[in-house]
Amino acid sequence: MRAARYHEHGGPERLTVEDVERPEPAADELLVRVTAAGINPVDTYFREGSYPVPELPWIPGSDAAGEVVAVGSDVTDFETGQRVYATGLGRTTPGACAEYAAVPTDLAAPLPDGVGDAEAAALALVGTTAWQAFVHHGDITPGDEVLVHGANGGVGHVAVQLARAMGADVTATAKPRYHDEVERLGAATALDYARSDLASALAEVCEPSLVLGTVVDRTIETDAEVLADGGRIVAIGNTEPTVAFPMGPGKGKDIRLQAMSMFNTPDTSAVLSRLAGMVARNDLEPVVAREYALDDIDDAHRDVLTDSVLGKFVVTP
Asked whether 148 and 182 are in contact (CB, 8 A), the reply is: no
Least Cα distance to 120 among 151, 87, 168, 153 occurs for 87
CATH topology of domain 124-262: Quinone Oxidoreductase; Chain A, domain 1 (3.90.180)
User: Quick one: CATH architecture of 2-110+287-316?
Assistant: Alpha-Beta Complex (3.90)
pLDDT at 130: 98
CA distance 268 to 264: 9
Residue 231 to residue 105: CA distance in whole angstroms: 36
If DSSP codes are grouped into helix, strand and coil, which group holds residue 276? helix
d(CA 99, CA 117): 14
- CATH 3.90.180.10 range(s) for the chain read 2-110+287-316, 124-262
95's enclosing H/E stretch is none
- Per the CB < 8 A criterion, the answer to whether 59 and 95 are in contact is yes
% residues pLDDT > 70 (the chain): 100
| Residue-wise pLDDT tens digits, 268-300 | 999 999 999 999 999 999 999 999 999 999 999
**Is there a contact between 256 and 116 (Cβ–Cβ < 8 Å)?**
no
3-state secondary structure (DSSP) of residue 307:
coil
Phi/psi region, residue 10 (left: phi>0; alpha: psi -120 to 50; beta: rest), is left
Confidence (pLDDT) at 295: 98
Predicted confidence (pLDDT) at residue 239 exceeds the cutoff of 90:
no
Give every CB contact of residue 228 below 8 A, 6+ residues apart in sequence.
145, 207, 208, 209, 253
With H, G, I as helix, E, B as strand and everything else as coil, classify residue 211: strand
> Residue 289: what pLDDT?
98
Q: What is the pLDDT of residues 240-262, one digit of tens each?
A: 788 888 999 889 999 999 999 99
